[in-house]
Structure 1
Amino acid sequence: MKRLVGLFALFLLAKAEREDLSGKMFTFPVESKTHHVVLNPEMNKIFTTVTVCLRVFSDISRAQSLFSLALPSTANAFLFFREKQGHYILHILDGTAHFWGLKDEYNVWKSMCATWDANTGLAQIWVNGIPSSRKGLKQGGSLTGIPKIILGQEQDSYGGRFDAAQSFVGMLTDVHMWDSVLSPDQIVYYSYGGQFKPGNVINWNSLKFSTSGYVVVESKETSHGASSV
């Protein structure tokens, strides 16, 4: 049995591949508690500053996970979550901050970024280049350990315990993660297609990932909503 488990683990690792996904997107066509993408950053360090940016296109009004990073010590180590229209949540090290009143539309591409600085504890969300209020969250904390980063599902345990009612349905692209807090100018450049420095933790232009279940990698040009914002 141990030999079979070991071989299965090697098979999963072998499925991970590195690609330049410029102009491509992950499409999650159906609600599920299984279909997802695992991102495999080659970095194991202590994070005290973080920025995550991505673009999404969805018509779902219910809650859904946008970016789920779990650590062995906590499932909600860095969770970027859309609760409902105009209402976003950041869970960091099991702490929670709510962000209200952000401009939010369905069936259009939206650029979203989330930042956190453990030194001050300040966290913020940006939607299409417009910032939220800044909220205090886990000052003095750090993300320590080997992360599991999943798109399409929200982790209630380290790498698992998915809930279909929180799954992402739609298209998702241009995922980047930095071990720093981007300046407002850099976030605006990202949001509106300007020049920005790609993520040094997760880089969409050189992404190592594996898909599980019904997830389609396709060109953004296949969608009528091919523009970035």
Structure 2
Amino acid sequence: MALLNGMSPLLSLLIIGSLHLASTERPMKKTLVFPVATDTSYVELMPQKDLSIASFTLCMQLATELAKGKREIILFAYRTEQFDELNVWRESDGTYQMFMQSSKNGVSFNLPELNTIQTHLCLTWESQTGMAAFYVNGKRSLRKLYKMGHRVLPGGRVILGQDPDSLLGNFDINQSFVGEITDVNMWDYVLSTAMIRDLNDGKWVPRGNIFDWETINMKLNGNVTLFSEDL
């Protein structure tokens, strides 16, 4: 190969090598696979900042066959020593609910059902008005009011795959998640409808400042596989 514009052999090799690395490196997508129902398998997510928040957007992609039956499915759990501080469920009656601070009455939504094809699911809430909404594949549900003036408290642990009835334990096999979870991102503010639509379409949006799936730290426990593939 001829030298590049009269450059020295060493400089030419460095440039060619850099171009080769750039052309062969591919972005990777990581997915958590929960193959079977258990009362031991879960993934703990390490937040980039404390969950001391008065608003949030939580997004993830999920695929599961469990929604075909009448079964509770935990989708997201944040537990402190005192409370289930923030939980998201697919209930046995097919509704989707958010609970804060172990409230007996969450806010309930009727949504298109999860299935074996990945669904992009987001949830937004802000304290000032109590406004909450789900988004399914970029489309917003109606808005509902829940926990106006409340604040999510810090000091807990976030897990996927199980619902902890203590800080990190007392799991129920009949509430566990089975399937795939990927692209878990969380912001301490409410993303606009347009931004959530762009996120669903694979366009650029600011990465989550509580959880950023591209850089997230996590601990796998039990029968969970972290699968990586080229985008």
User: Shorter-normalised TM-score: what interval?
Assistant: 0.7 to 0.9
Indicate the structure (1 or 2) with the bigger Cα radius of gyration. Answer: 2
Structure 2 counterpart of 1:33: 39
Structure 2 counterpart of 1:18: none
Matches of 2:114 and 2:171, distance apart in 1 = 26
Structure 2: which amino acid aligns with 1:34?
T
Q: Tell me by how many angstroms 1:193 deviates.
A: 1.4
Q: Does the CA contact (< 8 Å) of 1:39 and 1:149 recur in 2?
A: yes
Matches of 1:51 and 1:71, distance apart in 2 = 20
Please show how residues 156-195 of structure 1 align to structure 2 within 5 Å: 156-195=165-204
Q: Which runs of 5+ in 1 are unaligned?
A: 1-20
1:66 paired with 2:72, answer no
Matches of 1:73 and 1:124, distance apart in 2 = 26
Q: Between 118-127 and 79-88, report the one with greater CA deviation.
A: 79-88
Matches of 2:181 and 2:109, distance apart in 1 = 21
Q: Tell me by how many angstroms 1:105 deviates.
A: 4.5
Aligned length: 200
1:98 paired with 2:108, answer yes
1:115 paired with 2:124, answer yes
Matches of 1:157 and 1:123, distance apart in 2 = 26
Matches of 2:86 and 2:213, distance apart in 1 = 19
Structure 2 counterpart of 1:87: 95
Q: Which runs of 5+ in 2 are unaligned?
A: 1-26
Structure 2 counterpart of 1:205: 214
Q: Does the CA contact (< 8 Å) of 1:49 and 1:181 recur in 2?
A: yes
Moved over 3 A (4+): none
Structure 2: which amino acid aligns with 1:197?
P
Q: Between 191-200 and 81-90, report the one with greater CA deviation.
A: 81-90
Matches of 1:125 and 1:51, distance apart in 2 = 10
- SS, match of residue 73 in structure 1: coil
- SS, match of residue 23 in structure 1: strand
Q: Does the CA contact (< 8 Å) of 1:22 and 1:174 recur in 2?
A: no
- CA offset digits 1:149-178 (Å, max 9, x no partner): 000111222222211111100010000011
Q: Between 25-34 and 40-49, report the one with greater CA deviation.
A: 40-49
Structure 1: which amino acid aligns with 2:228?
S
* Root-mean-square deviation (Å): 1.8
- CA offset digits 1:67-91 (Å, max 9, x no partner): 111123312x111111258521111
1:132–1:124 Cα change, 3 Å: same
1:144 paired with 2:153, answer yes
1:26–1:111 Cα change, 3 Å: same
1:45–1:59 Cα change, 3 Å: closer
Q: Between 114-123 and 80-89, report the one with greater CA deviation.
A: 80-89
Structure 1: which amino acid aligns with 2:55?
T
- SS, match of residue 206 in structure 1: coil
